[in-house]
Amino acid sequence: MADKVTFKVSSAAAAYLGADTPRQDKLKAAAGEVPLPPKDLVLLLYYLCHDADPEVKGTAVASLRSLPSPFLSQLLSDRELHPRILDVLLQLHFNKPELTPLFADHPMLSEKAACFLVRQGVLPCPTTAAGEPAAEAVSETPAQAAEEIDSAGGGQAEAGTGEPRQREERRHLAKDGLDDAAQGLEPFAEDGPALGPDRDDTPVDEKSQEFQSKYQMAQNMGVGEKIKAALTGDKEWRSILIKDSNKLVSVAVVRNPRISDGEVLAIAKSAVQNEEIMRVICANKEWVKSPLIRKALAENNKTPIPAALRFVATLCEKDLSALARSKNVATVVASQARRTLMAKRDGR
């Protein structure tokens, strides 16, 4: 049984999920005929496609399948879209060429979803040191993967709003056994040897035979192959391709869903030549929660100045003092560091 996953839904969406919600209102919601923001509507449809009422369920499934590309493009611009919902949308709409780049580039794309894109030919598959493909083919066809939503079953998902008056709805959702998106919509096979878990911060041994083998392979890869390896490859691939002269390749490394905080910190500290890498890091709310990453970004002259100025305000006096004297940052950043330092001292 899959693990329980908790989603928060808005009060407006939760109103269609309660045990006492009239059937006609549920059918209207399942048809997508309710005024909700895109993210709330898709989450509502996801829950309703597991409703006990076959007509409600069937209508919601049809609505998810028929979502238009402009709507999905707007939804995929949400960089914090939950990976479970992203998986569902990917399996129903991955064959739309106008959407595949948005799926492949999404920061919340799960490891298994990335492997799925590799196996469907959307992303090229990196190879192991032995020259073997790093991801095995799956038995399910895309059509079969999309059909599986009709028979989803297994784990539970629970909705929550954080508001006391919605507790009954949360109990109703848990009682009905709403499914984890990974159950019933799971065409993803086990990862190949180069795609296994590697979110540790153990330094890469650049003298190892495996690293040298991958390095030699990278010299003979085309740009497309490098991008795919950067998006789905392991830590050794990332350490090689982050230094690639092609900006599309190096940016793809920081979009790899399995990159660790330690790797991000090392990149933020480095003399990276690709400013887009720094923009991607600055835009990730989880990464910039780290005071070490914020400090590194403030001190890196490739960080966009508006972001660097924002991070300056979070530094301690010692770091501000060093930054104010630094010759390696923009004058405006050093000046802001001095002003912030003086304000802190005056406020004692």
Check if the beta carbon of residue 297 is closer than 8 Å to that of residue 303.
yes
Checking 55-63 for CB contacts under 8 A at 24+ apart, the result is 55/27, 56/23, 56/26, 56/27, 56/30, 57/30, 58/150, 59/27, 59/30, 59/31, 60/30, 61/149, 61/150, 63/30, 63/31, 63/32
Residue 282 has pLDDT above 90, yes or no: yes
Indicate the pLDDT class of residue 123, thresholds 50, 70 and 90. low
- Structural tokens at position 171: 């109990």
Q: Is the pLDDT of residue 136 over 50?
A: no
Q: Which tens digit of pLDDT belongs to each residue from 33-70?
A: 888 888 889 888 888 887 888 888 888 888 888 888 88
Comparison of pLDDT for 120 and 265, the residue scoring more? 265
318 pLDDT above the threshold of 50: yes
Mean pLDDT of 130-144: 39
Comparing 119 with 78, which gets the higher pLDDT?
78
For the cut 80, the answer to whether the pLDDT of residue 226 exceeds it is: yes
Ordered alpha helix ranges (H), the chain: 11-14, 23-30, 38-48, 54-65, 69-76, 83-93, 100-104, 111-119, 142-147, 167-175, 209-219, 223-232, 235-241, 247-254, 261-269, 275-283, 291-299, 305-312, 317-325, 331-346
Residue at 10: amino acid letter: S
Q: Would you list the DSSP string of 105-156?
A: T-TT--HHHHHHHHHTTSSPPPB-TTS-BSSPPPSS-HHHHHHGGGG--SS-
Q: What is the pLDDT of residues 181-195, one digit of tens each?
A: 323 333 332 222 233
Distance of alpha carbon 259 from alpha carbon 52, whole angstroms:
39
Is the pLDDT reported for residue 268 higher than 60? yes
Phi, psi of 327 (to 5 degrees): -100, 0
Specify whether the CB–CB gap between 96 and 103 falls below 8 A: no
pLDDT band of 241, cuts 50, 70, 90: very high
Please give the share of the chain, as a percent, with pLDDT higher than 90: 21
What gap in Å lies between CA 246 and CA 251, rounded to an integer?
9
Residue 269: what pLDDT? 92
pLDDT at 296: 94
**Which of 186-200, 270-284, 291-305 is predicted with the least confidence, judged by mean pLDDT?**
186-200
Q: Is the pLDDT of residue 265 over 90?
A: yes
Rounded-to-integer distance, Cα 47 and Cα 113, Å: 21
Q: Which amino acid is at 193?
A: P
Determine how many CB atoms are found less than 10 A away from the CB of residue 35: 7
Q: For residue 21, what pLDDT is reported?
A: 85
Q: Which helix (H) or strand (E) holds 5?
A: strand 5-8
Residue 165 has pLDDT above 80, yes or no: no
- pLDDT attached to residue 305: 92
Give the bridge partners for 6, in sequence order: 158
Percentage of residues in the chain having pLDDT higher than 70:
74
pLDDT at 331 over 80: yes
Mean pLDDT calculated for residue range 120-144: 44
Identify the DSSP state of 99.
T
Q: How far apart are the C-alpha atoms of 303 and 290, rounded to whole Å?
A: 16
Query: Scanning the structure block, which residue is given the tokens 């049984």?
Result: 1
* Whether the predicted pLDDT of 30 surpasses 50: yes
pLDDT at site 299: 94
